[in-house]
Structure 1
């Protein structure tokens, strides 16, 4: 509300009172002149006027007439406002019935129009809150559906293969070990999914503890490539680290950030093996460290890029559960990076896919 609204309303009311009083006195004076001319040659009308003067007195009668005229002029001056109040009341009643797309018309330039603007702002904010609530409800339902599906698939396989073992429906010990191995792999995947889901939930509610300390990002990435050497070799790929500095000091939780880069590197190996290499670029830009993890395999479709960090989103819906992840890794990575005050993004074209992470330097 504007700070001078009360002052404007007070001045407007004073102006209306003064103008109504002046017009009432002037009109009353004109009526007296007209009545005198009308009754000059008419004895009946003259007698009627004298009776009124006798009953009420000349001055009280004039004051009463001026008062009625004053009230009339005040009503005339405020009639548009009264009409707008009625329209405002009907519009508010219409919005209260749930019609949030219909706003109150703002036609006048006074305190009533300001009230209408404030009500419109309230309606828009209420509509936005309801839309967010519906979106949150839809998100919760989708989460339950996705979790149920992803938990049920490996659990069904575990129950199925353990059922075959429990019923002795295997030919020999080799087939028995094969069934046990499959059930164990499915149980491991189930454990990973539950762990990722738990981690994502903690990240969403900002309850995951962070143990921040200073560390050298260059050394961390070197160790990361060493730990993934066997995985790179099995995919017939090479990992290269390109950095123009031997030290980039960050302040953060190294264990959590390792998980981010492990996820990005694992994805680059899993879906970029056709390119034969993964390259990690470390650069400093202003007060930030810029980490680019680039693979040269099949490009990610442009339609999938905006959703890549959404939970349970998978680019290739036809991937089997053995080759596909839980769909939570990138969502968790984004949460960890943002908790460190950084950003994560992805670009992909026909030649390469680049995941870029920006983190503030110490």
Structure 2
């Protein structure tokens, strides 16, 4: 690009020099012809014109006149460019004051056009960087606010119940054990929040290594249902794996993917208990394993679906507080799935809520 611009500028300069020289010489000779024709006029003005013609026709004067005309023509040929320089200067000065919504005018078809286009690209990139910085600052502020709120709630309960114990404000040992049990449960919730927060932060910065190996996804889902059998029974629900494959070999980190499916299954049990069952569909489609975890409880509002995988987003804040969720589980699940080259999505209506995970086969 730089070589092309330099060549264009050189050719343009050569062309302007040639054109200005030709026009200057042609103008001088035209003036001489006009003067020579005018000397043939009436006798009153002929003597004056003859003297002018003789002076102007001398070689040094002729050369000086050609040089003056050459300079004039060079200025005229570059006048549009000089005015464009002035516009560019004012535009850059305007942008330097922070008016990034304006653009540098793109005119003509020369090296200044390329400069203007590059300056506009620079302004667009600067605007994008500033917007990204603002979003990052907003995200940081939201993160601090949400973390402060989520950590403060269980911590307040812990301090409150331990304060009652420290002040001997309990009737008997049964009430004492009840206070200790509540403080312990809140401490467990606090530890879970801190663990999720650190894991989400590490995942965002790709600091969580993947210990990849080949494993059978069908076997993993069967084991997952076995491990959650008690939780399903307590919620008066049934769990079922529906698949037409005996094995689907995946290359990935089984510990990270187990956490993904545990989170989805736990959410299905917690929020879909009214439907009475959870169904896991596992199939092969276009060289990928597709896992659908479906519950038949209350539908998720359509306005909440696009934000469901955002960190700290909660459809029902009070319900999530009671169930001990951190608001980071789905965001972490999405991060782990995408690091395995897969996708995760959700659909929800009156017929059921379906979380779909798509993972490439080994």
Q: For the superposition of Structure 1 and Structure 2, which TM-score range results when normalised by the shorter chain?
A: over 0.9
TM-score by length of structure 2 reads: 0.94
Compute the displacement of 1:45 (Å): 5.9
Q: Does 1:361 align with 2:354?
A: no
1:305 alignment counterpart: 305
What is the distance in 1 between the residues matched to 2:317 and 2:95? 43
2:206 alignment counterpart: 206
1:226 alignment counterpart: 226
Compute the displacement of 1:19 (Å): 1.5
Q: Is the 8 A contact 2:36 2:53 kept in 1?
A: no
TM-score by length of structure 1 reads: 0.94
2:84 alignment counterpart: 84
Compute the displacement of 1:176 (Å): 1.1
What is the distance in 2 between the residues matched to 1:324 and 1:346? 22
Q: Does 1:173 align with 2:182?
A: no
1:129 alignment counterpart: 129
What is the distance in 2 between the residues matched to 1:7 and 1:358? 54
Compute the displacement of 1:296 (Å): 0.6
Classify the secondary structure of the residue corresponding to 1:4. helix
Aligned pairs (5 A) from 1:176-191:
176-191=176-191
2:145 alignment counterpart: 145
2:255 alignment counterpart: 255
Structure 1: runs of 5 or more not aligned: none
Q: Is the 8 A contact 2:189 2:324 kept in 1?
A: no
Classify the secondary structure of the residue corresponding to 2:319. coil
What is the distance in 2 between the residues matched to 1:265 and 1:3? 61
Compute the displacement of 1:88 (Å): 0.7
What is the distance in 2 between the residues matched to 1:335 and 1:326? 16
1:16 alignment counterpart: 16
What is the distance in 2 between the residues matched to 1:69 and 1:324? 88
Higher deviation after alignment, 167-176 or 352-361: 167-176
Compute the displacement of 1:35 (Å): 3.8
Q: Does 1:344 align with 2:337?
A: no
Deviations 1:167-197 (A, max 9, x none): 1111222211111111111000000000001
What is the distance in 2 between the residues matched to 1:96 and 1:246? 65
Q: Is the 8 A contact 2:106 2:116 kept in 1?
A: yes
Deviations 1:320-355 (A, max 9, x none): 522251000001111111111111111111111110
What is the distance in 2 between the residues matched to 1:304 and 1:342? 22
What is the distance in 1 between the residues matched to 2:38 and 2:122? 59
Classify the secondary structure of the residue corresponding to 1:318. helix
What is the distance in 2 between the residues matched to 1:143 and 1:179? 31
Classify the secondary structure of the residue corresponding to 1:132. helix
Classify the secondary structure of the residue corresponding to 1:202. helix
Aligned residue pair count = 358
What is the distance in 2 between the residues matched to 1:38 and 1:183? 115
2:61 alignment counterpart: 61
Classify the secondary structure of the residue corresponding to 1:347. strand
Deviations 1:72-112 (A, max 9, x none): 11111110111011101110111111111101111222221
Aligned pairs (5 A) from 1:229-248:
229-248=229-248
Deviations 1:182-237 (A, max 9, x none): 11110000000000011111101111122111111101100100000010011110
What is the distance in 2 between the residues matched to 1:317 and 1:106? 52
1:114 alignment counterpart: 114
Structure 2: runs of 5 or more not aligned: none
What is the distance in 2 between the residues matched to 1:274 and 1:2? 68
Q: Does 1:99 align with 2:94?
A: no
Aligned pairs (5 A) from 1:321-332:
321-332=321-332
What is the distance in 2 between the residues matched to 1:39 and 1:157? 114
1:314 alignment counterpart: 314
Compute the displacement of 1:10 (Å): 2.6
Aligned pairs (5 A) from 1:260-271:
260-271=260-271
What is the distance in 1 between the residues matched to 2:94 and 2:125? 17
